[in-house]
Amino acid sequence: MIKTSQMTKQKTRTREIQQILNARYPDVKTQLTHKNPFQLLVATILSAQCTDRQVNAVTGPLFKKFKKPEDFAEADLQTLESLIRPTGFYKNKAKHIKNCANAIVKRFDGHVPATLEELVSLPGVGRKTANVVLGAAYGIPGMVVDTHVARISRRLDLTRSKNPEKIERDLMKIIPEQDWNDFSLRLIFFGRQICKARKPDCGNCFLEHLCYWQDKQKIEA
């Protein structure tokens, strides 16, 4: 009985969090500029440890030079590295993008697959990247767990885990499937503006009354 009561309370609280986030961020979509699923895939790989603004500044010239997966698969690695250098970790990212493009050409006839299992089989593509592509490019529900989502979902006690895949499963249990994509995006926007890693702006936080952390100065990022 206690367990059922706790579950009901958690669902009610989660709905309130959703309603507030929906009101604050009514229209959400990925900030990564793209024209097709492959461009989004490349941009998402580049976004690791990099701002969306910087990625967009890089992908403009990049997508003018390399237009298709075939172009990236055949690209000179040093040329690719020089074009994506401002995004950081450019050597690894260049290898991932080139190998990913090659796999798409050889295994999927040049088309970005539309299932989580196939996407994560591509070089350099993890669950976060796969869910971004599924949601933004194909409209398929997926819970994107980046550093913002992981941090905030713990601070709001929506999960106790630090493991991204476990966090993803925990959130999928309490958020309606049709809301997975938008909910994760709203948490990302919220994390960038208010609930920052090192210094959350608790004084201006519209979710402060729902936050379970008592000592905000010692919140673990």
Domain residue ranges of the chain, discontinuous segments joined by +: 37-138, 143-218
Averaged over 115-124, what is the pLDDT?
97
Q: Assign residue 88 a region (left: φ > 0; alpha: ψ between -120 and 50; beta: otherwise).
A: left
This prediction has a pTM of 0.90
Question: 69: Cβ–Cβ under 8 A, 6 or more apart, which residues?
Answer: 38, 101, 104, 105, 110, 112
According to the model, what pLDDT value does residue 2 have?
47
- Which one of the listed residues 98, 128, 170, 182 is annotated catalytic? 128
Q: What is the CATH number of domain 37-138?
A: 1.10.340.30
Averaged over 165-187, what is the pLDDT?
96
CA 35, 41, 45 angle in degrees (round to 5)? Answer: 130
Answer whether CATH 2.40.40.20 is correct for domain 143-218. no
According to the model, what pLDDT value does residue 34 have?
97
216 is catalytic: no
Averaged over 156-179, what is the pLDDT?
95
Q: In this model, does residue 3 exceed pLDDT 70?
A: no
Topology match between the domains 37-138 and 143-218 = no
29 is catalytic: no
55-88 pLDDT, tens digit per residue, is 999 999 999 999 999 999 999 999 999 999 999 9
- Which one of the listed residues 146, 170, 216, 218 is annotated catalytic? 146
Averaged over 204-211, what is the pLDDT?
93
